[in-house]
Amino acid sequence: MNGSITRSLGIGAIGIMLSASLAACGSSSTPNSSPPTTKASGAKALKSLQFVNPLPTQPVWQQVDSCMKQEAQAKGLTYTSSGPPASSPGDPTVMIQQIQQATAQGVGAIVTFPASGAFGPVLQQAQQKGIITATLYGDGTPASGATVNAGVDWTQIGQQYVAAIASLPGDHHVGLVAEASTGIGKSWTDGVEAAAAKTSNVHIAGTVYIGADASNALPQVTSLLTAHPNIDFVASNTGLMTQGAVAAIKSRNLVGKVRLLVINNANGGPQAVENGMAVGVYLQDLCDLAKRTVDGVVEASQGVKVPLIAVNAVIAKKDDLQGYLNKGWS
């Protein structure tokens, strides 16, 4: 799977926490409703929507596609989806070409995951043609070319992480594992650090970066634990960390002393919760996000200024994890 795409839906794309027994369990990271919307002029009827899917052969993205299609058809829209072939997963060039084709064909709305910085100008061109554009896990800035953005509220994610840890007895020293010191990685670490600064018992010990390469997790987490022997939690916003972090904890004989907060149902996340290496796993309701993205696109076509559509998420622990997985959370 393409690294940036994996990160974003890890998130991402993102998240990593504990659940109910840790006080925050089972609660939504965001309310189901968005803040009040504001009417704008220039409304027009929306008739069609195209989803340019980064990974149409991957189960998570197939779920997003299916839920988006269901909602679009319920709204009376003609729905189509496209994406790179299995031989070229997440290929930004193919995706951009498909966005340009949809623009030329005059589709009413385009939804996509912005897999590179080159998506901004292309989506802006679509906007200039009167097309409503939506990004999944974009930054939502004017330069992104997104009329609507759906994804993560990093401040709320930071609060979730820290609230979960702070609810446990004693002082806690947390090591963070991010993709990079810029972009999504920086947004996530900033959110966690800001929330930790408001507590008396959660302290950020240090941060390491693994890029888009899971093989970096073992040496980087090992380095983190070596440099900060007081760490009792390791948290990350990328599922690429999980297996390497488990190996690092075992190699340093810290099982039971250092616990993980992991993200998503891939790369060993649920297994780490089941075997006790992780106290919880951050899961997102991507089907709901897909449907609300379609709703946001429809509202935007009616002249409404749509705020960030924030994904609903939980920190699932061992006793409720399977229930969320059964409901399709990932």
Domains in the chain: boundaries? 31-152+285-313, 154-284
Residues 316, 321, 324, 328, Cα dihedral to 10°: 110
Q: What is the pTM of this model?
A: 0.78
| Residue 215 confidence (pLDDT) above 90 | yes
Cα separation, 164 vs 158, whole angstroms = 10
Q: What is the pLDDT of residue 160?
A: 84
The answer on pLDDT for 45 being more than 70 is yes
The superfamily (CATH) of domain 154-284 is: Response regulator (3.40.50.2300)
Neighbours of 305 (CB within 10 A): 12
Number of H helices, E strands in the chain: 11, 14
- Asked if pLDDT for residue 23 goes beyond 70, the answer is no
More confident residue, 233 or 238: 233
- 77-100, pLDDT tens digit by residue? 999 999 999 888 889 999 999 999
Q: Is the pLDDT of residue 24 over 60?
A: no
* Distance (Å, whole) CA 134 – CA 194: 29
For residue 70, give the nearest of 284, 306, 328, 330 by alpha carbon.
Answer: 328
> Looking at 62-71, 140-149, 151-160, 211-220, which range is the least confident one?
151-160
* Phi, psi (degrees; rounded to nearest 5) at 142: -55, -35
Name the least confident of 133-142, 160-169, 250-259.
160-169
Tokens representing 240 are: 């690429």
pLDDT at position 64 over 70: yes
Domains 31-152+285-313 and 154-284 are alike in CATH topology: yes
pLDDT at 26 over 70: no
Does CATH number 3.40.50.2300 belong to domain 31-152+285-313?
yes
Nearest to 45 by CA among 132, 112, 126, 162: 132
Question: What average pLDDT score do residues 123-138 get?
Answer: 96
Question: pLDDT category, 44, cuts 50, 70, 90?
Answer: low
Facing residues of 207 across strands? 176
Supply the pLDDT for residue 52: 98
Position 101 scores a pLDDT of 98
